[in-house]
Structure 1
């Protein structure tokens, strides 16, 4: 028998939203206005009455009291939905195999993998020695049986995170002789990592520590020298590549390279054949690689000097570099080759030609073949290039899916590992023999209680308002869905940085589908699903296309009967939160409820402040508002600046106090001003995680608690009963 509290929730859900009723009787927090003028170099001025909520140290008591008051208000509004939240959380967690493990991969005589312990939040990173009868499948079987004999634990993240509100291991690297481990951890979510060292033979944690670095570590061949990227303490940008010699003070670490241009990110790595240590530098429109022999990394040569609007990435195997680039008008990128000692673009020779209808997304090199990751018609594919000059595509099984390269650390093999997933197919790892065509499934994400035959995915194309652009949309819904214009729908998108949102399986979305919700993934401009032009048409002076695309997708799906016009929810995070803020300003009447997470909503002020992390790196994404033309254009869509007195949808806004990507004060200011101007009756709740950063709480289960709370809010607003359909 269903608990009375759930019966009550279901009854009310089908009539008046509980959260609306509670919000109408509760008093939301109010916060002081303090006039502050934000000036641009060209003389433009804006009054930002909530600017004072910014506190880089997170110590201002008045500000903290406001965030806590918003949390308390959210607690009040959400209290009656706690049974629904708990039900959703329990369903989601029940679909996760708690003692699951990753597919092992072999490198330098060891098989590496991660596994989870039932009831624990964090992974155990481990390895087993290679030998007769030891392979990926045998190790997985042993892990499933709880047989860990012969296992060597690299890091038990559960033990390391014990007693901490937040803990994350961002990266780790094993020395070339397999004896030493370097790892980078973060204890507050701000991504200011500390490097630590462990002797894998003795288990001893060594005294060396390096603070304030990126999660990016590479050993040299001497097994004593570690290369890392040091952060600027103010902007948190990676600024300097340094090398640490084990057993020496971190303060004595030698400077290898310093980047003066704050529009570039940097990282360190090894080439495919382990011959070189590489420093990679990238901005939105330009790249530069530097390389040195891993056996003696004293002097780094420039692979090809940076040029504006020339992007490239490179890898080395055998006697050549293979370079992916947009040089010479290759808008969708092409592959070129160059000799090992090259330092100039003059040495580049075309290998895989540019095509207008296919975007070259990446590549992987093997001794006997190569693989090109491509994208066309908003679908990914893998093309195997054979030594004899022939090529063939890895086959897909569904109309809308995601396919990509998996871990392939060894080059001397005929086998290619890749991953495959869709909105209905859990993540699956395959390996295919590129010589014989044999395909083996190594693992499919276990999802207890899930029956994929009960769900349907499809791809549709929504017309944009320009009359010529078609926007791809991936849909998923439970079998039996009727396209009669009555269903609730959740529409998600991102649409920035050329990041493609591919149709992956989601254990959280199943709970929505089982309640009759249609899930729509909109592949809007600003991403790169349709090639580089798709990205270029959604940034800088074309940015507004991103927002109108999202709205046009909503209009199309409602018109075609996939959703009721008054039962549409929208969700986005980070730059997708900017999207949510923009569409709620432009078309608030089209959305019943909006979920916006760590939202980038104060674009003008943030982009005018080069001390804020990411600002200078992103002038070529949004434009630099120190130039009046970009200032005026950004001001047209910046969500904070375009709030006005009108009825807004119900909103759930989430952020993390220690977020270094989108600072907490952006959503805090946004909610404060929204409360002043909103004439709508839908509730606005603002949840701040006081311990977490951009990715939310650490640990695999805590994130699902946050998602369950948001979904409970959304379902309530959409008038969806809390009881799922039976499988």
Structure 2
């Protein structure tokens, strides 16, 4: 739920995160030609906040409208859109070209690899010009004679935006629960379909977080309900089919507003887990999936700073924990003895320089994912012999991870592999002889040849001596390491979220025009383990921004980019990165795209009514504490806007964003317009129907990408 950005990872394969939408404002906001071609200047209405002896004046506070309906606000946003459209009008042909180009590389008829659950194999398929997937199942892994379970295209017809949050089939495979969001606020309604008759049941659960879990009686559902104001999932309910939602039983309520709540089911189907997650503490409560009256029991009392999650195999819990292990270790304990940590025994010991990231249990094998010097690895271990085998791949930088391993009695593990030059490839790896069978590689249509591109992984020394990993990709025939190529540098660097080097079909349109693309794996991520994250949060947050700037400088010095054509891109918390970077070193960048940017750090973190705020004190600090307030204010992009030159800027957002409210970038743009001393472009594009993830549908998303890329390409060619 954090301020994670999804738009840059819109998957080309069939995914359930298909977007969400709202109704359009009904205000009459028709603009004159002069208004459409003039940069909007927001009126200044002082709003004062007094704290820690300061008086903070926010002249653009009035742009906040929680109803998203005030005529003066909507009119201002429409003016911003009209101005952006007028400035970018000369690039319309290029945008159309990019859209066609990217779309032409995507396979129209695309089927996911079938995943076994019980006696069936489930998969998703898109056909032709469809924006969304259809959900099917078959009695065999080849997907023969498939049964249509859900046509998402049909469901989405009535909405401008549509998202499926979760799809779960009952244990007896006769019912299917699914959640949908038609408002782009990540508030989902759960519905239930009878798979034998095709009819919808009368049950409809509103205001949920999206996830849904079946109990084993095939008539009981567990879900998390969201607070309508803070949008936090705080209550776990138990619903019995055929009853009204008002009769649902409250199973658990989270009273600490710094915690997120989620639900899942053990791989053996015997237990339901309630997950308690804050930034620095995580835990689990357990209840029986076989008893519809079961009450949750905490596995351990919650402890500040202790993070763990569990999996169950027969009578054992396997526990991944950071207890005396900053980079995590794996322990195991008998189910009935788990509450006493003295009973825990070591399965994978802590390694100071290798982070344990994930694990998967099978009847006779343990498969775990780790990260060594920034590189993800997957290792297979025989449980009874402790014999290990690490999977190997050839690319210098890549991402490998486990996916859809739903059966305990499987003889194989499914992994996904991708690099910046290798499309996503799904392998089935034999757990006994380690042979790899390719189940699917995402196809790129046209004349794509991976050998035409080269990926590099280098380390750059930051100003304090830290070695920052950087992943780079370019087209061999168009690259000269002499400082003449346009360079686009991407970064994120928050919440410990690691942006791995992976393939992108759309990115080819930049590489084929001579761009060098680089991902700066800056502090605040966990690319180099948990300490890399700890050194980029709260009172060390500025390391994130310094790393990004230092990477830019070094890439130019080393000849990867033209110093006059360096571009930067980041979204959500990565938009905060963009704002901080241009305040620190605006002269380095010719153009910057900040997507759904979290830029008003102080005002947002002081407002506990906003989604995410209280959960993120451990990420940014609590500004009610003066030490954190002073530090946050010293880098907050909105607070640090000054009278100086800024790069060409494209700022994008969605009116209904639930993660970063639209008014943050709206206020930031207004203040930049007031303060900046240059003639560079400042463009603000507001999707009046979208939320945090941007447009819905696999092809609609390409239009957003085409606009963003056209912005960079036109700048690089001197046409904007």
How many angstroms does 1:60 deviate by? 1.0
For residues 559-578 of structure 1, the aligned pairs below 5 Å read 559-578=557-576
1:642 alignment partner, SS class: coil
Q: Deviations over 1:26-76 (max 9, x none)?
A: 420112111101233x34320001011111111111001000000000110
Q: Deviations over 1:74-117 (max 9, x none)?
A: 11001110000011111111111011011001110000000101
Two-structure CA RMSD over aligned residues (Å): 1.5
Whether 1:221 aligns to 2:216 is yes
How many angstroms does 1:436 deviate by? 1.5
Alignment partners' CA distance in 2, 1:255 and 1:343: 24
Q: Which of 66, 75, 93 in structure 2 is aligned with 1:83?
A: 93
For residues 607-686 of structure 1, the aligned pairs below 5 Å read 607-686=605-684
1:666 alignment partner, SS class: helix
Alignment partners' CA distance in 1, 2:171 and 2:440: 28
Q: Deviations over 1:272-301 (max 9, x none)?
A: 211101101110111121111110141211
8 Å CA contact retained: 2:658, 2:691? yes
Q: Tell me the equivalent position of 1:596.
A: 594
8 Å CA contact retained: 1:305, 1:344? no
Q: Structure 2 regions of 5+ residues with no counterpart?
A: 1-32
Alignment partners' CA distance in 2, 1:664 and 1:346: 49
Whether 1:69 aligns to 2:79 is yes
Alignment partners' CA distance in 2, 1:560 and 1:223: 61
Q: Deviations over 1:661-703 (max 9, x none)?
A: 0000000000000000111221011000000100001111111
Normalising by the residue count of structure 2, what TM-score does the alignment of the two structures yield?
0.93
Q: Which of 372, 391, 414 in structure 2 is aligned with 1:394?
A: 391
How many angstroms does 1:25 deviate by? 11
Q: Tell me the equivalent position of 1:252.
A: 247
Alignment partners' CA distance in 2, 1:26 and 1:583: 29
Normalising by the residue count of structure 1, what TM-score does the alignment of the two structures yield?
0.93
8 Å CA contact retained: 1:272, 1:316? yes
How many angstroms does 1:238 deviate by? 0.2
How many angstroms does 1:383 deviate by? 1.0
How many angstroms does 1:406 deviate by? 1.6
Q: Which of 370, 374, 380 in structure 2 is aligned with 1:374?
A: 370
Deviant stretches of 4+, over 6 Å: 22-25
Q: Deviations over 1:129-150 (max 9, x none)?
A: 2xxxx32xx33xx6xxxxxxx3
User: Which has the larger displacement, 272-281 or 586-595?
Assistant: 272-281
Q: Deviations over 1:510-566 (max 9, x none)?
A: 000000000001100000010000000000000000000000000010000000111
Q: Tell me the equivalent position of 2:470.
A: 473
Alignment partners' CA distance in 2, 1:495 and 1:424: 23
Alignment partners' CA distance in 2, 1:509 and 1:254: 48
Q: Which of 124, 130, 152 in structure 2 is aligned with 1:120?
A: 130
Q: Tell me the equivalent position of 1:713.
A: 711
1:431 alignment partner, SS class: strand
Q: Which of 555, 575, 579 in structure 1 is aligned with 2:553?
A: 555
Alignment partners' CA distance in 2, 1:369 and 1:520: 37
Whether 1:364 aligns to 2:355 is no
How many angstroms does 1:721 deviate by? 8.8
Q: Which of 401, 416, 421 in structure 2 is aligned with 1:419?
A: 416
Q: Which of 164, 172, 176 in structure 1 is aligned with 2:167?
A: 172
8 Å CA contact retained: 1:23, 1:683? no
Whether 1:295 aligns to 2:305 is no
Q: Tell me the equivalent position of 2:113.
A: 103
1:527 alignment partner, SS class: coil
1:640 alignment partner, SS class: coil
Alignment partners' CA distance in 2, 1:487 and 1:684: 24
Aligned residues: 683
Whether 1:282 aligns to 2:277 is yes
1:94 alignment partner, SS class: helix
8 Å CA contact retained: 1:301, 1:343? no
Q: Tell me the equivalent position of 1:9.
A: none
Q: Tell me the equivalent position of 2:192.
A: 197
Q: Deviations over 1:480-510 (max 9, x none)?
A: 2110111101000100000000001001110
Q: Tell me the equivalent position of 1:529.
A: 527
Q: Tell me the equivalent position of 1:311.
A: 307
Q: Deviations over 1:145-164 (max 9, x none)?
A: xxxxx322221110000031
Q: Structure 1 regions of 5+ residues with no counterpart?
A: 1-21, 143-149, 723-727
For residues 425-464 of structure 1, the aligned pairs below 5 Å read 425-449=422-446, 450-464=448-462
How many angstroms does 1:343 deviate by? 2.7
Alignment partners' CA distance in 2, 1:435 and 1:679: 66
How many angstroms does 1:624 deviate by? 0.3
Whether 1:59 aligns to 2:56 is no
Alignment partners' CA distance in 2, 1:654 and 1:399: 33
How many angstroms does 1:400 deviate by? 0.5
Alignment partners' CA distance in 2, 1:587 and 1:476: 24
Alignment partners' CA distance in 2, 1:691 and 1:347: 53
8 Å CA contact retained: 2:35, 2:79? no
